[in-house]
Chain A
Amino acid sequence: GAVVSQHPSWVICKSGTSVKIECRSLDFQATTMFWYRQFPKQSLMLMATSNEGSKATYEQGVEKDKFLINHASLTLSTLTVTSAHPEDSSFYICSARSGLAGGQKKETQYFGPGTRLLVL
């Protein structure tokens, strides 16, 4: 149980294009999903927290118009990197947290496998 998937696993795009990354909780309902960014050999940097049906809460320094987050259902959240530039190249990881149903511990986050984005 507690499986989180991400799609795509890697993407290469041209500068100026937009890229959408999907995060799905496969066997539980995720009331909250998180989006992280990770630079090489560094820890995770929280970008935003999204709750199903409401607007995402962005961390300081993260542009909400640049990184659009939609959490339309309890099993799906999407991150769209708009007008991507080379400096947006990074490893993007989502995680999902559920309630107590299904055996998952409430405060535990389950991570997706990550999406590697390369902007040329």
Chain B
Amino acid sequence: TQLLEQSPQFLSIQEGENLTVYCNSSSVFSSLQWYRQEPGEGPVLLVTVVTGGEVKKLKRLTFQFGDARKDSSLHITAAQPGDTGLYLCAGGRGFKTIFGAGTRLFVKA
């Protein structure tokens, strides 16, 4: 059982479209991180959200942390082929970090 459920698992869209990826849990997390991983490379940190209701923007990416700190979303505006990759959400749980299964995004030119 995944403590962090990500949806969708796979998404294939055309360049220019918008999309939202969700990360949900029944547990409260002190913080959530979003990472992007490209094939053959390690995950790269995109953002950390720590406050319930927090919204952070990173160029065309908008991250939101749920008010109850149990869920988060990542919205990409006008997706580009360079956004292709595996998007992972992760939550702090004591000394460990719990990872979601990931959303694999493919943006077609």
On A, residues with C-beta under 8 Å from B are: 2, 4, 6, 32, 34, 41-44, 46, 49, 91, 93, 95, 97, 105, 107-114, 116
Distance of A44 Cα from B101 Cα, bound (Å): 8
Q: Given A41-B104, A105-B48, A34 and B97 touching (CB < 8 A)?
A: yes
**Count of interface residues, chain B, beta-carbon cutoff 8 Å:** 24
Q: Distance (Å) between the CB of B48 and the closest chain A CB?
A: 5
B96 at the interface (CB under 8 A from A): yes
Q: Summarize A's interface: helix, strand, loop or mixed.
A: strand
Interface string of B97-109 (1 = CB under 8 A from A): 1011110100000
Q: Distance (Å) between the CB of A117 and the closest chain B CB?
A: 13
Is B33's CB under 8 angstroms from A114's CB?
no
- CB contacts under 8 Å to A, within B85-100, are 86, 88, 90, 92, 95-97, 99-100
Q: Given A32-B95, A43-B100, A109 and B90 touching (CB < 8 A)?
A: yes
Is B40's CB under 8 angstroms from A116's CB?
yes
Q: Distance (Å) between the CB of B1 and the closest chain A CB?
A: 14
